[in-house]
Amino acid sequence: MNDPRWDRRIRRADELASTYPFYAEGLQYYARVAAFQKSLYGEIQSALAHSPKSSADRPLRDELDLFLLLPKFSGFLSVIQQIAPAPLAQAAAGLAQKGPARWQRAIEDFWHGDSGVAGADREPLEPADQQTASHSDQALAWIFLQPYAEYLADHREIAVVDKTPSTCPLCGCKPIVGVLRSEGDGGKKSLICMLCSHEWPFRRIYCPACGEEREPQMAFYSAPEIAHVRVDVCDTCHTYLKSVDLTKTGLAVAVVDELATLALDLWACEHGYEKLQINLLGT
């Protein structure tokens, strides 16, 4: 049976598309992506239904079932060609023509690569056209592998983490968004992984990019019309990550509400901050 969280994401994207017409196109695209991911998650769940839980000591990205995944990649590329904005749809069409060997390489390169997407903080190693293809392949592999990574995260033994790491303790990837919840008289912060969607506790005054913990160097900004989402910035490394405050909007779905706040990304960029990790819309 599929986890209802996929339905919550799709429903929230539809709600926000109605509330914020300016972001409707991107949110509608995300809802279609999430519908595909929901279906793929269900197929993976059925195929691996009798598999034991993975050990908490085994890194999540030590697992990669190409026998299961690779036959589904062609159908995924077809879906993306139909629903994605033109640049990504064209990239999917180009990758579709290259065949299974290239698909496998794209999957493996992303899965075994570093903890980010689109090479934002890497030195260029290829000619510009090859860089663009590589970045597009990364984005496609990320979308495709998310439900698989999320399934692996859901079906592993619970690990006790006695620290608050800046990258996901399960797969080592960067956080995509922060979450704020009520706890006693104060608030509790956590981060959500950009790949496996694992959520882990995090310190409120601490930069996940550079480790800055001096309060004067850390700040946050928000806009009245989207007060439940804020930009957490670090004035040491000039990096930012958005956080969704569930104490202000309990119906928010962090990974979806983050998509609906492009105005905050624009503000951050205009003030010289760079995003820690882009989202599925490339912002």
| Residue 11: pLDDT over 90 | yes
Residue 128 has what pLDDT?
41
Query: Given pLDDT bands bounded at 50, 70 and 90, which one contains residue 55?
Result: confident
Residue 65 has what pLDDT?
96
Q: Tell me the per-residue pLDDT of 106-125, one tens digit each, with 9 for 90 and over.
A: 999 999 987 666 443 333 33
Query: Given pLDDT bands bounded at 50, 70 and 90, which one contains residue 2?
Result: low
Residue 115 has what pLDDT?
61
Tell me the pairing of strands 229-234 and 218-222. antiparallel
Residue 57 has what pLDDT?
82
| Residue 186: pLDDT over 80 | no
Residue 119 has what pLDDT?
40
| Residue 231: pLDDT over 90 | yes
Residue 124 has what pLDDT?
36
